[in-house]
Amino acid sequence: MSMLEQNLERILKVRPVDLGLFVLAMHSLIERSLGEKYGSSGNYDSENSFGKLLKLYIDDYYNSHGRPVYNGAETRNLPNEEFYVYKTLKKLFKSHELSNSVRHNFEVISPEDAQVSVKYFLAFAQAEKWGPLLALEKLKKELENWDSHSSYQSVELTKAIAQIEQLKKENQNLAEKANAYGELQNQLNVLSARESLLKNELEEAEARLSKKDARLDQLRHKSNEQMMSFRKEKEKILEQMKDYEVTRQYLSYLEKVSFYSKTRHDYEASVTKLTSEQNDILEQIKLDKDFLIKGAAGTGKSLVLLKALEKAVNDLKSELTFDESKDSFRLLTYTKSLVKYNQYVTKILGAEVPEGTITTADSFLFSMVKKYFPEKRLSFGWDNSYEEIFVCEGFSEKEVFNECYEFIWANLITNEDYIEKMCDRAGMKFPLKKEERIAIWEAMEKAERALENLNVWPRNFAAKKILELCGNGDSCVEYSFVDEAQDLPPVILALVKKTSKRGVFLAGDSDQSIYRKGFNWNRSGIDIRGRSRILKMNFRNTNQIHAFAESYRSKFKNMDKALEPVAFRPGPPVEISVGKNPDDIMNQMVQQVKMLLNALNYDEENICIIANQKQKLEKLQEMLDKELGVKSHQIDDDFDFAETDGIRLCTMQNCKGLDFPVVLLLADHRIRGAEEKSIFDSETYYEQQYNMVYVCITRAMEMLHIFTAENTEFAPFKDLRKGKQK
């Protein structure tokens, strides 16, 4: 057995005896390894000494494993695994502080502290290429609590979370105070560094000059005067810092809780391993039958869908050539940003998915229009060329158009359904009597004849026309997968079904429907009888975010009560800050970002700001750059999820299906005129707005902070505050 293996075995023996000594033993081995590597025989207990060695090590790792982004560039790109190690090594100094608390104060270490220390130790072992060793495999078992997704929250962590809640309740502007406290700490550190430099200069002079040299006395006198000046400045700063004792406590508790939360890479790593619940559902998916995966936010519907796609690709490998496989699968979703995110996740999974498989539902429809009606273009709502076409006495042209577009065409409604059976039009803006329906149907038939001669067709009309022309087997793929299916109308789902040879697989949640009334696949021809399964384990959100989101979801009049997920990870409490006006709110958000970056050491890429208007995001982008010198990027069609720099900015509509370690939600005021422009009735409009807010708050993996206006009258935003007060 090598000396390294002996040392690792000794560390393992300490584990059951005392967690504090266990953490100290792991860190001591790291300290010794760094000292041997850089030929240092100094005091590793010294923060300065350890910090210098660690910085050297991290810089060396970055330079040796990263490739310059271009010839001569200092900035480098690291592969995923090396990037994770690099990011974890940068946090290793926290473990040093923890081990010192044991070394000097003999403090008791919590299971969470030990767990995080193991994570850092294993990253160092990976950087040093110590594995594979049996002792390291045993250490990895320390992280099984996360891997098994079991619920666990110690007494220490529960107390810390309660303290954050209490301090936040009793004190205002804690983020701003935390930043001011940080500035004082920086000033103190600068003075300490200047003291150290002055001391070193004096020691060098004493070694160089004779004791009788008059210059030495002058230098000592000058050094003493400067030291006295530094001490007075430090005393003054320390006195000021006493006013920030509450702030220091708040940061300490917040840091303790967030210390245990998973990072972006941890979440992505967990993606490659399904939970037992997810795996059970994946095994139940038979590839020759339609299937529906349901579940509330954070349960992993999209992940199981991607795994089902991977399963289908592997299943047909022996049957299809490479060229054939490229056109045999499609995964459709609603937005381009979600397309890019799903492509990103498939890379993390290492899934061999043919290029072009993942696309938007609209892109799919474009391709079908190009095949059957190449001279036609698509519109996704009213077009000026429709004037004088949708004419019906008693109704405006746009009212008639909306009835056709959003109800009759979208839901594949027949004349019998509409007039004879007087089918339910739930959610539409105004009720219609039978004679009014007859008039609108006649107007629609005239409009359809007129549309034949136009170059621009409404999306749902185009889908209906293609359905009438194409037969089963036309333009077919073997399998179709549809993510966020609740936002697609039955006419699109019917087209997907008709052009799929073997099966259609859906993932959806009616409580996340933000474009349509509910979730309806009945008219599409998709048969999921006996083949619908519900995911109930929320592995994205912490217990605190999950509880807040479920409390908010309980306000929904049409809440899907079959979806009752449970969470397992502890985290910081959800925070809500109230501002007097838009400028005040945005200033608070900038202060929060500053605290997250400087005091809590979050990486920029782990923070996302969500707002209901792009203009608000643009203003925040400008403020972050001007006041903090921090880059930020809007998540749009060109955004690359593999990028690792800059804060993320996202509209409410674009955040569907995405997730971020930290979410700052700007929920100040409604968009003026949005309700009036809606084609749905007031109840449905607000149902969709509540759904959208629910989607936003469930994007946060570990920390959620909501910023709202004290005078907001928008019910979905006001109820966020009510939920917190409970």
Asked if the structure places residue 271 within a domain, the reply is: no
Q: How much is the pTM? A: 0.79
Q: How far apart are CA 375 and CA 382, in angstroms?
A: 19
Q: How far apart are CA 161 and CA 257, in angstroms?
A: 7
- Looking at the structure, tell me whether residues 331 and 296 fall in a common domain: yes
Domain endpoint, select from 538, 553, 586: 538
- Looking at the structure, tell me whether residues 223 and 178 fall in a common domain: yes
More confident residue, 46 or 654: 654
Is residue 588 over pLDDT 90? Answer: yes
Residue 128 domain boundaries: 3-148
Contact 260, 570 (CB under 8 A): yes
- Looking at the structure, tell me whether residues 313 and 414 fall in a common domain: no
Range of weakest confidence among 444-448, 499-503, 533-537, 598-602: 598-602
The rounded percent of the chain whose pLDDT value lies above 70 is 89
How many C-beta atoms surround the C-beta of residue 636 within 10 A? 15
Rounded to 5°, angle at Cα 238 from 233 and 242? 150
Asked if the structure places residue 413 within a domain, the reply is: yes
pLDDT of 147: 46
Domain endpoint, select from 148, 167, 192: 148
What is the per-residue DSSP string for 457-512?
A: EEHHHHHHHHHHHPPTTTT-EEEEEESSGGGS-HHHHHHHHHTEEEEEEEEE-GGG
Q: For residue 188, what are its two tokens?
A: 């103190």
Close Cβ partners of 420 (under 8 Å, ≥ 6 residues apart)? none
- Looking at the structure, tell me whether residues 343 and 383 fall in a common domain: no
Is residue 556 over pLDDT 80? Answer: no
- Looking at the structure, tell me whether residues 683 and 557 fall in a common domain: yes
Give the pLDDT mean for 195-204.
Answer: 85
Give the pLDDT mean for 122-134.
Answer: 87
Give the pLDDT mean for 30-53.
Answer: 72
- Looking at the structure, tell me whether residues 495 and 413 fall in a common domain: no
- Looking at the structure, tell me whether residues 650 and 688 fall in a common domain: yes
Asked if the structure places residue 265 within a domain, the reply is: no
- Looking at the structure, tell me whether residues 593 and 444 fall in a common domain: no
Q: Over the stretch 56-78, which tens digit does the pLDDT of each residue have?
A: 899 899 888 887 766 666 667 77
- Looking at the structure, tell me whether residues 141 and 41 fall in a common domain: yes
Asked if the bond preceding 111 is cis, omega within 30° of 0, the reply is no
Q: What is the mean pLDDT of the chain?
A: 85
- Looking at the structure, tell me whether residues 356 and 423 fall in a common domain: no
- Looking at the structure, tell me whether residues 650 and 583 fall in a common domain: yes
Domain count, the chain: 5
CATH of the domain at 534: 3.40.50.300
Contact 362, 462 (CB under 8 A): no
- Looking at the structure, tell me whether residues 407 and 360 fall in a common domain: no
pLDDT of 324: 62
Q: 476, 521, 531, 451: which is closest to 291 by C-alpha? A: 531
Contact 257, 161 (CB under 8 A): yes
pLDDT of 146: 45
For 651, the 3-state DSSP assignment is strand
